[in-house]
Amino acid sequence: MSDTTIPTHDVIMIGAGPAALTAAVYTTREDIDTLLFERGVVGGLAAVTDKVDNYPGFPDGIEGLTLAQNLQKQAERFGAVIELGEVTAIHDEGDYKRLETTSGDMKARAILIATGSDYKKLGIPGEQEFYARGVHYCATCDGAFYRDKRLVVVGGGNSAVQEALFLTKFATHIDLLVRSKIKASDVLQDELKQFVNDGKITVHLGMTTDEIIGEENHVTKVVGTQDGKKKEIETDGVFVFVGLMPNTQFLAGTNVKLDELGLIATDMHLQTSMRGVFAAGDVRSGATMQIASAVGEGATAALIIREYLEGKLTHTAKSEEELSPTPLA
């Protein structure tokens, strides 16, 4: 494909979660040609969160899907274009960056990477074999399939406890397998205790998850180790919540610097080590992994990108110290 036939945009945003959708609201309101690429669900992990209880302005909380849909409608109202597809590589060609995508090559004067994170996997026997047939990573997506069934939830952080509590709407009983100790917030732990006292949830502390066993198209039990002894728990399904992994695999081979966790390092302007490429939200090193802060970073990124496109942002990070892994002030 010759350069004259490659579609060119002012800004291409990789990802369409809260950070990118907010940034798109700002850029499109100023008539900056903006295209968003999303390989999964518009709204990102927020869209598959049962209830967002700590987003400002919603005293009673708001369903994650509703919040995501509202952000999408707002961005599209101002002219943002969202395309379902995947960006597989970025090439620095000076004033323009060339992106390899599932829709063909594209060029942009500026890029915002807001790909967020994905669910980590356990990497144990049976996990991949029974994916979507008894093994799940999204309670709001698949919980309703397990009405009046027994479930196992793996994890001890905020997400695991929150999703276990949500699954009590459907399951008759939940076994919560925690590798070390509960690390969820005090508020969630207090709520968890109520369900433990009611006999709805059983917590297994210090228990590893070693294998998922099933028959044909369904899971029958989970095998783990606790106090050095093998333990089997009968279940109809397994929900895994053991953390997040940044979606930065497509940056392999580029000069976009990542930290030791695979998150994108940026300077104080949210610019990466590749000039004209910015990052915001959960994929950025130092991010707080909160929807509210992702939205704030999206707005900040949009304003900085506008300055960059107008030639007013002249600074480029040249040292390791200028690429900060700390949250923005």
11 and 106 together in one domain: yes
> Which of these three, 208, 240, 272, is where a domain ends?
240
Buried b (16+ CB within 10 A) or exposed e, 93-119: eeebbbbebeeeebbbbbbbbbbbbeb
> Which of these three, 240, 269, 289, is where a domain ends?
240
pLDDT at 314: 67
107 and 252 together in one domain: yes
Please name which of 123, 121, 125, 163 lies closest in space to residue 141, comparing C-alpha atoms.
163
> Which of 46-60, 100-114, 180-194, 247-261 comes out lowest in average pLDDT?
46-60
254 and 226 together in one domain: no
| pLDDT at 329 exceeding the cut of 90 | no
The tokens for 48 are 């598959």
DSSP state, 328? P
327 part of a folded domain? no
The number of beta carbons lying within 10 Å of the beta carbon of residue 88 is: 12
| pLDDT at 324 exceeding the cut of 80 | no
Q: Using DSSP, state whether 303 is helix, strand or coil.
A: helix
113 and 258 together in one domain: yes
317 and 270 together in one domain: yes
* pLDDT, mean of residues 66-92: 96
Containing structural domain, residue 159: 135-240
The tokens for 79 are 């002219």
pLDDT at 142: 85
pLDDT at 9: 97
| pLDDT at 100 exceeding the cut of 80 | yes
124 part of a folded domain? no
249 part of a folded domain? yes
* Domain count within the chain: 2
pLDDT > 90 in the chain, percent: 79
143 and 56 together in one domain: no
* pLDDT, mean of residues 210-223: 95
| pLDDT at 149 exceeding the cut of 90 | yes
Alpha carbon of 26 to those of 71, 80, 133, 242: distances in Å? 12, 10, 41, 34
208 and 222 together in one domain: yes
pLDDT at 129: 93
pLDDT digits (tens, 9 = 90+) for 109-147: 999 999 998 889 999 999 999 998 999 998 877 898 999
The residue type at 138:
C
273 part of a folded domain? yes
pLDDT at 319: 54
| pLDDT at 327 exceeding the cut of 80 | no
pLDDT at 2: 46
| DSSP-assigned states of every residue in 239-305 | EE---EEES-GGGTTSS--B-TTSPBPB-TTSB-SSTTEEE-GGGBTT----HHHHHHHHHHHHHHH
22 part of a folded domain? yes
222 and 190 together in one domain: yes
pLDDT at 71: 96
CATH code for position 31: 3.50.50.60
> Which of these three, 240, 258, 283, is where a domain ends?
240
163 and 256 together in one domain: no
Distance CA(307)–CA(200), nearest Å, equals 54
pLDDT band at 1 (very low <50, low <70, confident <90, very high): very low
Q: Which residues pair with 224 in a beta bridge?
A: 209, 231
70 part of a folded domain? yes
31 and 95 together in one domain: yes
pLDDT at 45: 84
| pLDDT at 317 exceeding the cut of 80 | no
pLDDT at 328: 54
* pLDDT, mean of residues 212-240: 96
More confident residue, 241 or 318: 241
CB 126 within 8 A of CB 154: no
pLDDT at 82: 97
pLDDT at 22: 97
Compute the mean pLDDT over every residue in the chain, rounded to the nearest whole number: 92
More confident residue, 3 or 104: 104
85 and 146 together in one domain: no
